[in-house]
Homo-oligomer: A and B are copies of this chain.
Amino acid sequence: MTTSTSELGIQSTQPNLQQSDKSAVALAQHYQTVRRLSQRLCQPLLIEDYCLQAMPETSPAKWHLAHTTWFFETFILKPYVKSYQVYNAHFEYLFNSYYNAVGAQYPRAQRGLLSRPSVDQVFSYREYVDKQMHKLFTDTQSMSNKEVLQRITLGCHHEQQHQELFFTDLKYCWYQNPILPAYQEKPLKSATPTDELRFSKVSSGLYTIGQNSTNNFSFDNEQPAHQVYLQDYLIGQRLVTNGEFLSFMIDGGYDRPDLWLADGWTQIQEKENIHAPLYWQQLGQEWFEYTLHGLQPLDLARPVAHISAYESDAYARWADCRLPTEQEWEVYVEQPADLNSKEESGQFLQDDHLHPINTNKITSALIGRLWQWTSSAYSPYPGFKTAEGAIGEYNGKFMANQLVLRGGSCVTSKSHYRHSYRNFFYAKDKWQFTGICLAKDP
């Protein structure tokens, strides 16, 4: 299957394989596809762009390229390939993100200071590891080791996560430059105007959420599948638009403390003094939005993006709604009637704000556009166990102070997505591709 991501000039050929029944050959193909995409995403970049780090939470493109490679080297080549020679002894320290069980880490906030290794050297590092991985794929003994296959699959998903971060981080870093560089020069197409927001009703009862990971890949934080009891609820069939959010602003939304969570009010009033979403700029009377296509006139029909959980919550309160819990969200989108896979497939990694939203398609309109804040804290599912060793640090240790986001975004790869996917960020964060899904009580 070929997903045309023509707006960004990328020909993506990610197979939508089911990982578990994949042969070694299929896995090798998938590996190659994912690895190649990371590099193709970088094509519009100058060498200078690879090194940007505008805040501690963002990493330079070069670092993403090296770290994802380090992941394969550290968790697959080193433990499973006997005679493996590390490419460069410094890299264990420089490109370890947060795995304390592996060792100390170069300070996260200073990744932008690593002019060396150069971009060229990082590409050579990738080539070296890819060759070693290629050998491993042809080693039948290794390929019959389930743990090896699982880790390679994990490594591919890990790299796909960083492909998404590549976009979010680059966009944030470029925004600090008054030149406002564009990833793709071609202007964004106008979105189709939306109908009024309609809500679907879900009835109370016991539901199962999460994954037992029998066939399909899932991260440990989606496991185990378990029952939850939900009350009746309504959930919005599409995301909140720029036009709707502008109405909130015009109504004084950013200046009414009654609409805001206390920590959010502190952020917008005392710390940041903000009165509009992160990438919005008012020039004269007109609003513009910085996108991967550069500064564009604000399209009122597109979903509002780069919104903190506080902003989402304040908007929801203004609209006499609330944010859904992650359980409500997952139960809703898993309802078979509403799914339309064709439509859904068109919304993933393609451009910044993607296609105009077609409100005729219901749950699918929540998928692959913008991650949606839920009101659920990022906590372990009942019965959750962290893996032994460094891999156990992948997700579990972040289960504090963050909220779950659901739905994937326009910079998420389709083959990386599933409905049980639990993304997580701090409520204050805005540099991800985040939007607003509403819920309410009947």
- A379 on the B face (CB < 8 A): yes
User: In the assembled complex, which residues on chain B have CB atoms less than 8 Å from the CB atom of A100?
Assistant: 257-258, 265
B residues within 8 A CB of A46? 115-116, 118
> How many protomers of this protein does the assembly include?
4
Interface size class of A (residues with CB under 8 A): 35 or more
Residues in B neighbouring A257, C-beta threshold 8 A: 100-101
Q: Are B400 and A98 neighbours in the complex by a CB distance under 8 Å?
A: no
Q: How far is the CA of A9 from the CA of B283 in the complex (A)?
A: 51
Q: How far is the CA of A110 from the CA of B52 in the complex (A)?
A: 11
In the assembled complex, A274 has its CB within 8 A of some CB on chain B: no
Q: Which residues of chain B are near A115, meaning CB under 8 Å?
A: 46, 48-49, 51-52, 173-174, 177, 181
Contact partners of A382 in chain B: CB under 8 A: 230-231, 233, 441
Minimal beta-carbon separation of A67 from chain B (angstroms): 16
> Which chain B residue has the least Cβ–Cβ distance from A377?
B377
Q: A26 contacts the other chain (Cβ, under 8 Å)?
A: no
- Who on chain B is nearest to A176 by CB? B113
Query: Which of A245-253, A360-368, A391-399 lies at the interface?
Result: A391-399
Judging by beta carbons under 8 Å apart, are B116 and A179 in contact? Answer: yes
> Roughly how many angstroms separate A46 CA and B114 CA in the complex, as a whole number?
12
Which B residues lie within 8 Å of A233 (CB)? 382
By CB atoms of chain B within 10 A, which of A48, A98, A258, A313 has the most?
Answer: A48
Residues 100-144 (chain A) with a chain B CB within 8 angstroms: 100-101, 106, 110, 112-119
Please name all residues of chain B whose beta carbon is closer than 8 Å to the beta carbon of A112 when the two chains form the complex.
112
In the complex, identify which listed stretch (A156-164, A188-196, A221-229, A351-359) lies at the interface while the others stay far away. A221-229
Contact B118 A48 (CB under 8 A): yes
- Whether A262 sits at the interface, judged by CB under 8 Å, is yes
Residue positions of A touching B, CB distance < 8 A: 46-52, 54, 62, 90, 93-94, 98, 100-101, 106, 110, 112-119, 173-174, 176-179, 181, 206, 226-231, 233, 257-258, 260-265, 309-310, 313, 322, 375-377, 379-380, 382-383, 392-393, 397-401, 427, 441
Q: Shortest 6 CB-CB distances between A and B: which pairs? A: A377-B377, A100-B257, A48-B115, A229-B229, A47-B47, A261-B400
